[in-house]
Each structure stands twice: as structure tokens, then as C-alpha cells.
Copies of this chain bind each other. A is one copy, B any other.
């Protein structure tokens, strides 16, 4: 996180300091993780981005199963009438729904047009509470059928008016957990448990330290009684909501008729929850870890943790270098990191060595290993650790490298986490006590918060919804009521009224 003024040639132009928003777009592209498609607001997730997503899926899926959840798959289409059952819910999503109205195309005057109008339009799911509720109402009869713990991996569609790649796209991939319980307490326990799964995952796997807390009423999921969240800080000081877990009360049970005979023999509505994380995490990874040379992929989600680059010169013995690389790869694959064999790739493409090296730096492969004829002779490798790019290359003995590779990965994973945590702390202010200070903090150079040094303001808020109007001109929102509260008495930073509760204020993605 060098100051932008330092004159240095960087792989990404503009730098973060010059234009953070454009830097982000450039890194997504340079790391070859995703690109916008020809279809409005929809993206193509490419191999390097999808590979990271698959690793996230595998780990989250393991944690979901460990906590007793089974995977199901529910229809992508939701009849319009299902939505109308929960008033807040439909209100929250109606403006951004893709609607299927016809079931075939026919040629009219040589042009294909929609035909076969549906009796009831179908909505492409923006989220699945209502369609899953429909199934739950059939499956749940008695308390013996509870808890019902489901999850699905799926695509969802929300017609975003201002799409931003990976962060806010018309179609995205996610998982959505949906559970039903006998009591409020049980459902709340589930809601907290899954948020904790997300927190651990974000911190351990994505190297993304997060704030855990509850959303204020105005920021809740449409139809929820309580929304818990993890909020991460990006390098421009903005918040990214990285995962949410909702206690839905009996709202959806009433709407979908999820009724059961309880232990006392009476009919009761189930208490339901839902929770999800999405491919926006890929965007969060970039904005938290990337630098002016591109992406830095945390080793635990790097599709290739080690990339070997054979240096093949016309005048030198290619076969020996290749053999050396192949056997090095095998040795590395016999080593374990995080309970998995190391993920190693040899890049054999026939392009210039320097270009290849910079491609992998921009993609953020954690360890780069260059092998030329002299390394083969000397039994060495030339190592670059992406998170220590400034430290340059290291020549080390091959055997030593193989033995230390997993340790290097662990160190890189930790270094990324530590850097983001230190940044988050340095950009969180707790000494803003009144509106004047608040306003001036968020006012300075709002267009370039990367250099302006803004971030999270942790301050007291009275809870008065009317006071939130003051935030609008600043583009600031209440991100959450953090779980850890001091409990001290003070005054509301927006109104000066007495207040005990602390919240996080920030601009957000």
C-alpha cells in the first residue's frame, strides 16, 4: 500500500491511488478472472476466477455438511403468485426481476418472435425463500420433521441498473441455505451459527478479516426479522457486505403455510432462516488484496498455488529444463498444505518468459518458480513470492524449496490476512463524536477515498430511523451494529441524543 505519488512503473494502470474504481476493473481483466458478456449486466467467469470459486465452494460445502445441512436443488422459476404471499419480500425485489412470459419462438415475417404466452408469468429466482417455502410446506407436518436443514448452489438473477463486474451483476452464482425450526431460539441459534461459519471461512480461507454484526431495520433482507452480516473493508475504505444470515421469524412460514404439529400437539408455524454468500466474494478478494501490480490470490483459494515457468532459450537444452520442471512438480504435489496436495502448474506456453512471468504476477499466483538451464545445473530454483514482490527473486536450493513450499504458502496466507487487518484497523476511527466531525470526515475528497484515507466510523447511534436521512447526501450507510458493544453511554453522532448502541458507518459496495 504505497502512496500513489511514488514514481514506479506498475503493471496496472491506473493505480489504486489514481483511480480506484478503474484500477479494480483493470485487475479483474488483467487477472483474467471474469469479463462482462454481450448480455446486459451478465458476466463470464473465466478459469482463474471460477477455479477460486470452486475452491470456495468445496470448503463452504464441507462446513455446511459438517453442521448438518444437505444440498437440494429447487426450480429456477418462481410463479408470480408465490411472490405476492409476502408483502415486504415482493416489494423488495419487484423492481429487479427477469420475467419469463413465453415458452417458444416462432418466425413472423422472417423474424423470430416470442410466442406461446404463459398463463402465469414466471420470475427467474432472485432468491428462493418462496419457492423453497412451497416445498417445505409439503415436507413438514410434525416437529419430528424439524429441523429441516437445506442448502442449494445456484444462479440467481437481479436486474441491477448499474452492474459492476463480480460485485453487482444481473446474474450471479451463490449458495443459499434455507432451514426450518420448531422455535425462535433454535432458528436464531442457526442464524448465528451460519454467520460464524461465514466469518471463519472469510478469515481463514479468504484472508479477509470481517466485522460481524446485525443490520439495522432499514437494511434488513426484505421479509426478515433480523439480518446478520459480515462486513469487510476494501482498500478504498468502503465496506463490502460479504455474507448475510437472516432470521425470517414466522413470516415466510405464514406466507408459504409451513405449519407443523408441535410437541404439545398444537399446530404452529415454523421459524425459518436463510443465509448466503456469492461470487461477489471474488470481487472482494481483488479489492482487499490486489495491488498496483494486479491480484494477490490467497493460497487457500488459488487454483494454482505454485506456477513453474521453464525458461526455454533457443540455444539451450529444452528437454533437461522440462524434465527438471516435471520432477519438481511431482515432488511439490507430494507435499501438503491445509490437508490438500499442493496445486502446481507448469506453464509451457510458447511465449516470452518475461511476459509469462508478469501474467502470473497479475493473476496473483502465490509462488512463482522460474527454472532456467543454470538452475538445472546448480540444482536451484528462482522463487518469487507474490505477496513480497518488492523483495525480488530468491535463488534457493531445489530440495530446500520443496521442503519449505507449504510453509511459504502458510506464511503468504497469513501475511495477506495481517495486511488487511492492519489496514482495516488503521482506517477505522472511533473518536468522531458529533455531526460536524462526521460530516467533515466523509466530505474530504469523496471521489478518491483510497488516498483520502476514509474508512469505517464506529460511533454511537440513537436508533432513530429519521436520522438516517442525514447520511444520504454523503452516500454513507449504517453497515451493522457490531456484536461487540462497549455498553458505555454517550451521544448519537447524528443527532446528539443520548445513545448507548455503537454502529459502523461507511460507504459501501
A residues sitting closer than 8 Å to B (CB atoms) are: 37-39, 42-47, 50-51, 53-54, 70-80, 82-84, 90, 94-107, 112-114, 116, 121-124, 131, 134-135, 144, 150, 154-155, 157, 159, 170-171, 173, 349-351
Contact = CB atoms under 8 A, between A and B. Distances in A.
How many identical subunits does the complex contain?
2
A54 B151 CA distance: 13
B114 A173 contact: no
A35 to B, nearest CB: 8
A60 B475 CA distance: 47
B71 A47 contact: yes
Contacts of A351: 144
A78 B39 CA distance: 7
29 contacts: A38-B134, A39-B77, A39-B131, A43-B75, A44-B72, A47-B150, A50-B72, A50-B73, A51-B70, A75-B171, A77-B98, A80-B105, A83-B105, A83-B112, A90-B105, A94-B106, A94-B107, A96-B103, A96-B104, A98-B102, A98-B122, A99-B114, A100-B100, A100-B124, A101-B101, A101-B114, A104-B159, A113-B121, A144-B350
A100 B98 contact: yes
A96 B114 CA distance: 11
Contacts of A74: 37, 44
A72 B45 contact: yes
B97 A99 contact: no
A102 to B, nearest CB: 4
Instruction: Select the residue from A83, A102, A107 with max chain B CB neighbours within 10 A.
Output: A102
B103 A114 contact: no
Contact of A73 (B44, B73, B349, B350): B44
Given A45-B73, A47-B71, A94-B112, 17 more contacts: A38-B82, A39-B75, A39-B77, A39-B78, A42-B75, A42-B77, A44-B135, A47-B72, A50-B70, A80-B112, A90-B105, A96-B104, A98-B103, A100-B101, A101-B102, A124-B124, A144-B350
Nearest to A37: B75
Nearest to A156: B76
B98 A112 contact: no
Given A72-B50, A76-B42, A77-B39, A105 B112 contact: no
Contacts of A51: 70-71
Contacts of A155: 76, 154-155
Contacts of A106: 94
A451 B339 CA distance: 52
10 closest cross-chain pairs (CB), A and B: A42-B75, A47-B70, A45-B73, A99-B102, A94-B105, A103-B159, A99-B114, A39-B75, A101-B101, A98-B100
A112 B84 contact: yes
A119 B53 CA distance: 33
Contacts of A97: 103-105
A97 B53 CA distance: 29
A98 B116 CA distance: 10
Given A42-B75, A45-B72, A70-B47, A114 B122 contact: no
